[in-house]
Chains A and B, each alone.
Chain A
């Protein structure tokens, strides 16, 4: 574990160039460039805030805002996990030829996902301010929740990116899983609308608590549930450590799989 932080420090320049490449390379050649990372979630938001209140008749006050504070972090989660799954596989060529700490690859994908989200969250805060809800001091808790999300995403990406090298089917499975998970997280609906018998399933999903916490501080403007967040922090750190060891175990044969 100490080795991880030493490697990250020694190879910080690689991490930095990788994150930059990830962000800039994603929209290379597109006219609107990085603006796409703003436009994508906004367009999605527009579509959903028409479909759910007007067509599916979900009755929640200020639904667009309700959706916004959950949908943007969720978009960050899905796109990061999806890209993170490929993180090692797409770099097979380099892995075969040079040594560098392989964990840089998943970490830089997750980091760039979070940087991307920070850009979109500017739009989110803009919406909140001009959309009538405003910001309260609770919004200062935003970085803490984001940090939790970051740790959880790295843990998951460690595992997925390493296993995908050996089981390529995982890429497709992850896409499917994320779609299911979207409806298994209270993003477009409220937690109350779930039958009590099924609520425990949702509570097993770490993203439920992340999304709820974002919503607490930004939409309901109240203290998040610290007990839940504390448990989540423990789970997140455990996931991170377990993920790291799985990655380290599997990385030894990476070069022979390409």
Chain B
């Protein structure tokens, strides 16, 4: 018998601490450093404190919390864009992240070329991309504009292209940071439908969002992060309820 906690782990976070240095008017040149040597003391901001988490394969997890609570930082640590100051963090399986719109898009290149470029950043080969390109273009609904340079795209079109690539990479773990809000109602629904499919396929999804309705309807686990610690972890309805109570 397999119950929920018997599943394989997708992401482990152990005793993770992350500090950011706060620079007040960063003294960067030698002249400034010599003149203002006494000012260069920088404060350290403990953005994450001793985080321990296990995210299991097939879970759909929402990270919620107020601005500056450290949830985006946690997501960035999971993608290996930044590294913890202490503790360790391991992910198992192919990972795709969608942290900011069109990271790695080259404005002068066409949508089609950018699909190749963006997908190759996620570690796909040309053959992989050739197989998926029609699906990606179809999902983005950008058929008419796909050969135009990306700089001529609106932010909605940008999002559609970026999201279509990321969602068709076939990663085991998908990390998404508060970006879906840009798309229109139609595209948002389509994205959640696709995410629902990925969920059924047993993919692990972690999203950072302030759309609490989505958390309740779409996710099966919510983690509330407050001032760098996990304040509550569990059933989305309960966690969202407690979070809302706290905000009031």
Q: Are B81 and A255 in contact (CB under 8 A)?
A: yes
Q: Are B120 and A252 in contact (CB under 8 A)?
A: no
Which residue of A is nearest B20, CB measured?
Answer: A256
Is the interface on chain A under 10, 10 to 19, 20 to 34, or 35 or more residues?
Answer: 20 to 34
Chain A nearest Cβ from B206, distance in angstroms:
14
Q: Are B123 and A94 in contact (CB under 8 A)?
A: no
Q: Are B97 and A98 in contact (CB under 8 A)?
A: yes
Q: Are B76 and A100 in contact (CB under 8 A)?
A: no
Check if A21 is an interface residue, CB within 8 A of chain B.
yes
Interface string of A36-58 (1 = CB under 8 A from B): 00000000000000000000000
The interface residues of chain B lying within 8 Å CB-to-CB of A28 are: 108
Q: Are A94 and B81 in contact (CB under 8 A)?
A: no
Once A and B bind, how many residue pairs between them come within 8 Å at the CB atom? Answer: 62
Q: Are B103 and A97 in contact (CB under 8 A)?
A: yes
Interface string of B76-117 (1 = CB under 8 A from A): 100111110000000000010101100110101000000011
Q: Are B106 and A99 in contact (CB under 8 A)?
A: no
B34-74 residues at the A interface, CB under 8 angstroms:
none
Check if A11 is an interface residue, CB within 8 A of chain B.
yes
B1-45 residues at the A interface, CB under 8 angstroms:
20
Which residue of B is nearest A14, CB measured?
Answer: B120
A7-66 residues at the B interface, CB under 8 angstroms:
10-14, 16-17, 21, 28
Q: Are A10 and B123 in contact (CB under 8 A)?
A: yes
Stretch at the interface among B124-132, B137-145, B180-188: B124-132
Bound complex: CA A255 to CA B119 (Å): 21
Check if A193 is an interface residue, CB within 8 A of chain B.
no
Interface string of A89-127 (1 = CB under 8 A from B): 000011111111000000000000000000000000000
Given contacts A94-B103, A255-B76, A256-B20, contact A11 B81 (CB under 8 A): no
Given contacts A13-B125, A13-B126, A255-B81, contact A97 B104 (CB under 8 A): yes
The interface residues of chain A lying within 8 Å CB-to-CB of B108 are: 28
Which residue of A is nearest B128, CB measured?
Answer: A13
Q: Are A17 and B81 in contact (CB under 8 A)?
A: no
Q: Are A100 and B106 in contact (CB under 8 A)?
A: no
Check if A3 is an interface residue, CB within 8 A of chain B.
no
The interface residues of chain B lying within 8 Å CB-to-CB of A99 are: 79-81, 95, 97
Q: Are B120 and A17 in contact (CB under 8 A)?
A: yes
If A13-B116, A94-B104, A98-B99 are given as contacts, then 19 extra A-B residue pairs at C-beta distance below 8 Å, sorted by A number, are A10-B123, A11-B123, A13-B119, A14-B120, A14-B121, A16-B126, A21-B117, A94-B121, A97-B100, A98-B81, A98-B103, A98-B121, A99-B80, A252-B82, A252-B83, A253-B83, A255-B81, A255-B82, A256-B82
Q: List 17 A-B contacts (CB under 8 A).
A: A13-B125, A14-B121, A17-B116, A21-B117, A28-B108, A93-B103, A94-B104, A97-B103, A97-B104, A98-B79, A100-B121, A100-B122, A253-B83, A255-B76, A255-B81, A255-B82, A256-B82
